[in-house]
Amino acid sequence: MHFYTLKIKMFGDFSLEYNNKKVSDYDNRSKKVWILLAYLVYYRHKAIPKEEIINLLWHNEKKFSDTNNLLKAVFHRLRKFLENLDLTLSKELISLNKGYFKWNHDIPLELDIEEFENLCNSGLNTQNSSARLSFFLKAIEIYNGRFLSKINADFKLLSVSSFFHNLYVRISQQTILLLEHEKKYYDACVICKKGCELDPYNEFFYQHLMKNMVYTDSASDITSVYYNMERLFETSLGTKPSLESINIFHLATNKNDNKINSKDIFSAIEIKDIDGCFFCNYDTFQAIHRFIACSISRSNALAYIAVLSIKDIYGNYLSYHSLCSCNEQIESLLKTHLRKSDTVFRYNKSQYILLLLHGTQYNCSKALDRIIYLYKRSYPRSPAVLSYSLNEVNPII
């Protein structure tokens, strides 16, 4: 008999807790162990043939002749890892018998995804608005990020992640409307802020956050919310917020014009510490380029434009699939190793335009050479070869 309940969380960080001991996917670098465990947890109600697990763990790699032994090794590592919770639990939780993995249902289990889905369904199926709100608030509290956020890109539970996230967005939007109907504007702001964090490109959360802030005397914060959204959309998507969001922003700030003083304005536009260079869209890059070209004509300072190109070793452009991973890697290096005063615009999937300030041509070349060197060292198996051309910015007189 087991006297303790095994508590498993799969939203955000993947973690297990038993008898006040806890392990999470921060604690072990073996991704295959965590993928195996996650798969067995999610499909715990059926016996899983080992061939299914072998295909799960090694489907992207060449077929090994000893996959059975490799699977046994991963399963052994999983059991050793579970010993951090309890020795008996590690032996009894999962069994491998006659070629099938089976979950031990005699061990009491609390699973966040199960509780979340039950609460959502209870809320969606009731006609009582107060009961619905209560169910939804409890469900939202449980949802702490996408399902298996660290490992779900590596195996076939991606559709599960989308299902749970779409369900979270659906009940969050309904919750906000229910709270607004009851004039609980502060509570609505809390749900909106969580939505902005977990679904940052969904304008619904920003729009209703600005609307509700009108009733919470947060006039200066409305401005910050809108411009943070605008900056995120421009740098990440190359787009601007919708006309509806713009209109809501203007209406919300107009209602509070009489409450805004100069101190609020200075606080709202104050530049906080920034991390790395500035990524922007084409229009913003053009505006900055023009401003710098005008400035250097008076200050005799120097500025340079660089074009960073991505090709393969034969000088051909990479496939779309290869470029997607390369773009993420390159942008991370640019963010880390360029100056905060530098500006970057992705011209297309294969080229970036960089505006480099406060340096000589030699210094700019050295900075770009360093980025190319670091890329080769950090990603030796990448098919991408980086190159650049560098020109001085012509001043506008």
pTM, 2 dp: 0.70
Tokens 């018998």 belong to residue: 97
d(CA 304, CA 354): 8
Q: Residue 99: which region, alpha, beta or left (left: phi > 0; alpha: psi -120 to 50)?
A: left
Q: How far is CA 278 from CA 65, 234, 336, 353, 357, in A?
A: 49, 11, 11, 12, 12
Domains 112-269 and 278-392 share a fold: no
CB 175 within 8 A of CB 191: yes
Q: What's the pLDDT at 299?
A: 75
Half-sphere exposure in the Cβ direction for 366 (13 Å, CA): 6
Report domain 278-392's class.
alpha beta
Sign of CA pseudo-dihedral 249, 251, 254, 260: negative
CB 44 within 8 A of CB 103: yes
Q: What's the pLDDT at 371?
A: 94
User: Selecting from 3.40.630.30, 2.30.110.10, 1.25.40.10, 1.10.357.10, what CATH number does the domain 112-269 have?
Assistant: 1.25.40.10
From the CB of residue 147, how many other CB atoms can be counted at a distance below 10 Å? 25
d(CA 282, CA 277): 16
Q: Which residues pair with 354 in a beta bridge?
A: 306, 344
| Residues contacting residue 242 through CB under 8 Å, at least 6 positions apart | 203
* Closest to 47 measured CA to CA, from 94, 97, 101: 101
Q: What's the pLDDT at 112?
A: 98
Sign of CA pseudo-dihedral 12, 15, 19, 20: negative
Report domain 6-109's class.
mainly alpha
Angle at 250 between CA 244 and CA 251, to 5 degrees: 85
Give me the helix-helix angle, 185-198 and 203-213, nearest 10°: 150
Q: How far is CA 179 from CA 40, 115, 130, 166, 385, in A?
A: 38, 22, 10, 20, 53
Could you list the pLDDT tens digit for every one of the 397 residues in the chain? 567 999 999 999 899 999 999 998 766 568 889 999 999 999 999 999 999 999 888 876 655 568 888 999 999 999 999 999 999 999 999 999 999 999 999 999 999 999 999 999 999 999 999 999 999 999 999 999 999 988 765 556 778 898 999 999 999 999 999 999 999 999 999 999 999 999 999 999 999 999 999 998 776 689 889 988 998 888 788 788 999 999 999 888 876 655 555 565 556 556 566 678 888 888 888 899 999 988 887 777 889 999 999 998 888 888 777 787 788 889 889 988 898 889 998 888 889 999 998 778 999 999 999 999 999 998 888 889 999 999 999 887 7
| Domain boundary assignment for the chain | 6-109, 112-269, 278-392
